Chain A
């Protein structure tokens, strides 16, 4: 079994042991890591107390047109040699898939992508998989698949000979993907508007931009967005876990139980953000955030090209990578949360500290916070740094669990409404669809008219406000968007557009 992109593909490994000078040939388009196996497998076999044939050994990997990558083929190659030399009974391996990296001592080492391999094995109708013991929990998440977690090559030989009984299959250890996060919305004091905005973002699947001074709590808030998103369904958990498994990040755990929260540093490369690699295509941060939250702190510091490349996943929910080694599709449907300072020094609009930035630098900075990607962020929010008085005067926040209930209800309302148009939530609506689905109450139209005139709303700003207002109405269980919903939607603002408007015209 090998992994290409996020999916596993079955590889047939055949070994031939015949007359000739002792040699070991590997055919069938092996990649660099697979070629390495030649030198690694022989010591592993010998350390396991097995015999390496001093004859001509040819191992073929089929299909020959598919480039094989990764050290996970060590174990199947070794098993094929054991079969070819009749050190284990013929047919013992029928119906089984093998994957795992070997050490020189014959240990089976933890290997990335085992979850994908198990899924592919189940899809191919195999009976079971032999995988590294460290990854056995991962593989055992798949129904109807027997899983043997091997610690060493000797275990595998024993299993094939029927002399070693693997520990009871852990299939019944499936963990339901409902779990408690280590953070909670209740820990945030004050910031009532920001907490509410998170709820709206979660309920409507809206991307969020937070603008605020250093220390305002943007990172704290972003981290808690993942905790109020609806609980992961099993399918979602499988998809997300597969990506983490391929990236080698699942580390002995079963499925992800809470929505992923990824916060790449702003120096991340385009490949790091979107995925890539020269021989093995690895998922990037955007895919690791699949079904979760991708948080870009210091948004203006990210490379512009990397950030703009996020448009594809934001629209399609997936990333298509095409490289010389082939192309791969990585799912990447995440909620984007971007955070930025209001100006280069960070203190514009802060009541306690003077902003030292000249107007033209602020204007340049605001320019960085615009562009095609920003147009896809429905919710913009100013997160002010709270004064001591404001902190003390505010009551403790509501817990994530109870907010999540409202979010879930709002999501269900949206799913029912959009069942015909293939959209899950308001955040995924196109502009025209948003205008079609808005259902404004009469009073709301009057309010909107006034707002468009005096707030210099652009067409896109208008659509964004509609979508957000729709979500607020859904949270309140209202069929129509009332004036209060629209007023709330219009109250979420980064403050930067207004500054820009003032600087340009006022």
Chain B
């Protein structure tokens, strides 16, 4: 019907100070869906006209109508200032044009905190279960760290589990990361992730479609997922049960024509359902950050080989540590005494090359991914 829909919202929709205030008011309405508002926008042409239509009751719900007259844009502006957030209208220079790939419901605005979103930045979404296995969390952390280390921004939803692990990996790199919230831009949810979100704001960007003070509601999350998908050039699914929220994100990504990657897991694990299903459907299987970076055509910046200046004992241990092992077994394999081996293992651990899990020593994922063995 409208070929120019691809262009996003009507040109000049929120131009001028009045237009901007009208758009800000529109952003505070809770009843009208982005899709309906988008249609209305194309019918009315400007934000002010759309707002009037809602106030007159020609569009939106009754509660929107009362909301529309109650919202005080100055107060919202104040709140934005207090959390040092900025309001981007669709079409603003910082507004990511990729979001207009959402043909039916591109966000008309974004609230943004932290670093600038720049056109041309490569962003990849990492998604997966909130309830994840520790292996899943390690993989997500590693993906986040390696992607961000290679300069690729990690996009995720700041939820528990895979989301948080990928953000934290990116922060650890340190590198860029973008958190897309399902709550108001000043509401850091879940509470356990407040500190992490504060770090993301400092080192990366926090984005939300919702005005200050909006609580996280279940219906926000699928809408939030469309933004995660649209912001990113590709999406990796780490773990997800059947019919999970990750599946919704993937469907958005596929609709948008984004590349979808999946990390396989054991067929016996319910958390492998979504990734394995996606692989069957044609998603690209990746074993970790190396595969992903290769497929994205990005050169990894993190060294895969042990640093050349490793002391001889540590090098010997590192080279023989091909699978998780108890300290005495490590010593036997490297032909060292147990105290020698423990000292070298501690050295490797302090260098971040080895870690202890459940009493056994193993190479950290980042380094073992380089070897021929598939990481556990």
B268 to chain A, nearest CB (A): 8
- For chain A, the bracket of interface size reads 35 or more
Across-interface contacts of A491 in B (CB, < 8 A): 327, 342, 345-346
B168: nearest chain-A partner, CB-CB: A506
Q: Check A193 against B360 for contact (C-beta < 8 Å).
A: no
> In the complex, are the beta carbons of B326 and A384 less than 8 A apart?
yes
Report the nearest A residue to B323, measured CB to CB.
Answer: A351
Contact B327 A355 (CB under 8 A): no
A349–B135 alpha-carbon span in the complex (Å): 10
Residues in B whose Cβ lies below 8 Å from that of A390: 326, 329
Cβ B338 vs Cβ A355 within 8 A: no
Q: Is the CB of A193 within 8 A of B343?
A: no
Question: Is the C-beta of A64 less than 8 angstroms from some C-beta in chain B?
Answer: no
Interface window among A32-40, A69-77, A449-457: A449-457
Given contacts A359-B131, A488-B342, contact A348 B358 (CB under 8 A): yes
Within 8 A of A (CB), among B180-204: none
Closest-CB distance, A306 to chain B (whole angstroms)? 29
Nearest A residue (CB) for B137: A359
Chain B residues, Cβ within 8 Å of A360: 160
- Flag whether A382 is at the interface (Cβ < 8 A): yes
The answer to whether A490 and B346 touch (CB under 8 A), given A192-B328, A390-B326, A393-B329, is yes
Q: Quick one: CB contact mask for B331-361 with A, threshold 8 Å, 1 for yes?
A: 0000000111011011001101001111110
User: B350 to A192, Cβ gap below 8 A?
Assistant: no
Q: A193's closest neighbor in chain B, by CB?
A: B327
Which residues of B233-286 are within 8 A (CB) of A?
269
**Given A193-B328, A390-B326, A491-B327, A358 and B339 touching (CB < 8 A)?**
no
List residues of chain A with CB within 8 A of the CB of B352.
454
Closest to B271 in A: A354
Q: Which of A325-384 contact B (CB under 8 A)?
A: 342, 348-351, 354-355, 358-360, 382-384
CB-CB < 8 A to B160: which residues of A? 359-360
For the complex, is B141 an interface residue (Cβ under 8 Å from A)?
yes
> A423 at the A/B interface (Cβ < 8 Å)?
no
B133 within 8 A of partner (CB):
yes
Is B324 an interface residue, CB under 8 A from the partner? Answer: yes
Contacts of B328 in A (CB 8 A): 192-193, 394
Contacts of A359 in B (CB 8 A): 131-132, 137, 160-161
Is B223's beta carbon under 8 Å from chain A? no
* Cβ of A178 to closest chain B Cβ, rounded Å: 31
Q: Smallest Cβ distance from B322 to chain A, in angstroms?
A: 14
Across the interface, name the chain A residue whose C-beta is closest to B337: A484
Q: Which residue of B lies closest to A451 (CB)?
A: B350
Taking the nearest CB of chain B, how far is it from the CB of A280, in angstroms? 45
B residues near A383, Cβ cutoff 8 Å: 359
Q: With contacts A348-B134, A354-B269 known, is A487 near B326, CB below 8 A?
A: no
- Whether A487 touches B346, Cβ cut-off 8 Å, given contacts A351-B324, A384-B360, A495-B356, is yes
Residue contact A455 to B326, C-beta cutoff 8 Å: no
Q: Residue of A at shortest CB range from B269?
A: A354
Report the tally of A-B residue pairs with Cβ distances under 8 A: 86
> Which chain B positions have C-beta within 8 A of A201?
none
CA distance A358 to B328 in the complex (A): 32
Q: Which of B168, B343, B352 has the most CB of A within 10 A?
A: B343
Is B172 part of the binding interface, using a Cβ–Cβ cutoff of 8 Å? yes
Which residues of A sit under 8 angstroms from B357, Cβ to Cβ? 349, 495
- Tell me the chain A residues, 406-439 only, with Cβ under 8 Å from chain B: none
Most chain B CB within 10 A, of A359, A383, A386, is at A359
- Complex Cα gap A384–B161 (Å): 25
- B31-58 CB mask vs A (1 if < 8 Å, else 0) is 0000000000000000000000000000
- With A355-B133, A359-B132, A455-B350 known as contacts, the answer to whether A488 contacts B339 (CB < 8 A) is yes
- Return the chain A residue nearest B343 by Cβ: A487
Chain B proximity of A419: nearest CB distance (Å): 29
Contact with A along B131-161 (1 / 0, CB 8 A): 1111001000100000000000000000011
Complex Cα–Cα for A484 and B342 (A): 8
The answer, among B168, B358, B359, for a CB contact under 8 Å with A193, is B359
Q: Which residues of B contact A301 (CB under 8 A)?
A: none
- Give the residues in chain B near A498, CB-CB below 8 Å: 355-356
CB distance from B191 to the nearest CB of A (A): 12
Bound state CA distance, A270 and B231, in angstroms?
59
Residues of A close to B141: CB separation below 8 A? 506
User: Is there a chain B Cβ closer than 8 Å to A132's Cβ?
Assistant: no
Q: Flag whether A493 is at the interface (Cβ < 8 A).
A: yes
Whole-angstrom CA separation of A447 from B168 in the bound complex: 27
Shortest CB–CB separation between residue B219 and chain A, in angstroms?
24
Out of B329, B346, B358, which one reaches A342, CB within 8 Å?
B358
> Bound state CA distance, A394 and B161, in angstroms?
38
Please tell me if A88 contacts chain B, counting CB pairs below 8 Å: no
Q: With A351-B324, A354-B269, A488-B339 known to touch, is A384 a contact of B358 (CB < 8 Å)?
A: yes
- B residues within 8 A CB of A313? none
Q: Contact check, A495 vs B358: say whether CB atoms are below 8 A apart.
A: yes
Query: Contact mask B101-133 → A, CB, 8 Å, 1/0?
Result: 000000000000000000000000000000111
Whether A358 lies near B358 (C-beta < 8 A) is no
Considering the chains assembled together, what is the distance between the CA atoms of A384 and B361 in angstroms?
11
Chain A: CB-nearest residue to B131? A358
Q: Is A102 on the interface with B (CB-CB < 8 A)? A: no
A483 within 8 A of B: yes
Residue A212 is within 8 A (CB to CB) of chain B in the complex: yes
How many Å lie between the Cα of A359 and that of B358 in the bound state?
Answer: 16
Chain B residue numbers with a CB within 8 Å of A192 are: 326-328, 338
CA distance in complex: A212, B326 (Å) = 14
Tell me which residues across on chain B come within 8 A of A455, comparing CB atoms. Answer: 349-350
Contact B339 A487 (CB under 8 A): yes
Q: Mark A380-409, 1 if CB is under 8 A from B, else 0.
A: 001110100010011000000000000000
B172 touches A506 (CB 8 A): yes
Residues of chain A within 8 A (CB-CB) of B350 are 450-451, 454-455
Collect the chain B residues with CB atoms within 8 Å of residue A354's CB. Answer: 133, 269
Taking the nearest CB of chain B, how far is it from the CB of A99, in angstroms?
Answer: 52
* CB-based contact B343/A483 at 8 Å: yes
Rounded to whole angstroms, the CA-CA distance of A490 and B352 in the bound complex is 15
Q: Which residues of B contact A351 (CB under 8 A)?
A: 324, 358, 360, 376
Cross-chain contact A484 with B134 (CB below 8 angstroms): no
Complex Cα–Cα for A36 and B359 (A): 59
CA A365 to CA B160, docked complex, whole Å: 18
Chain A residues positioned under 8 Å from B168 (CB to CB): 505-506
Assess the A355–B346 pair: CB atoms within 8 A. Answer: no
Complex alpha-carbon distance, A355 and B358, angstroms: 12
Least CB distance from A258 to B in Å reads: 29
The answer to whether residues A487 and B358 also contact, given A355-B133, A390-B329 and a CB cut-off of 8 A, is no
Residues of A within 8 A of B269 (CB): 354
Q: Are B326 and A193 in contact (CB under 8 A)?
A: yes
Q: Which residues of B contact A382 (CB under 8 A)?
A: 356, 358-359
- Residues of A near any B CB (own CB < 8 A): 190, 192-193, 196, 212-213, 342, 348-351, 354-355, 358-360, 382-384, 386, 390, 393-394, 447, 450-451, 454-455, 483-484, 487-488, 490-491, 493, 495, 498, 505-506
Not counting A192-B328, A192-B338, A350-B358, a sample of 11 additional A-B residue pairs whose C-beta atoms are within 8 angstroms of each other reads A190-B326, A349-B134, A349-B360, A351-B358, A354-B269, A355-B134, A451-B350, A484-B342, A487-B346, A491-B327, A506-B168
* Pairs A-B, 4 closest by C-beta atoms: A349-B358, A382-B359, A384-B359, A192-B328
- A and B contact pairs by CB, cutoff 8 A, 21 listed: A192-B326, A192-B327, A213-B358, A350-B358, A354-B269, A355-B133, A359-B131, A359-B132, A359-B160, A360-B160, A382-B356, A382-B359, A384-B359, A390-B326, A451-B346, A487-B343, A487-B346, A493-B356, A495-B357, A495-B358, A505-B168
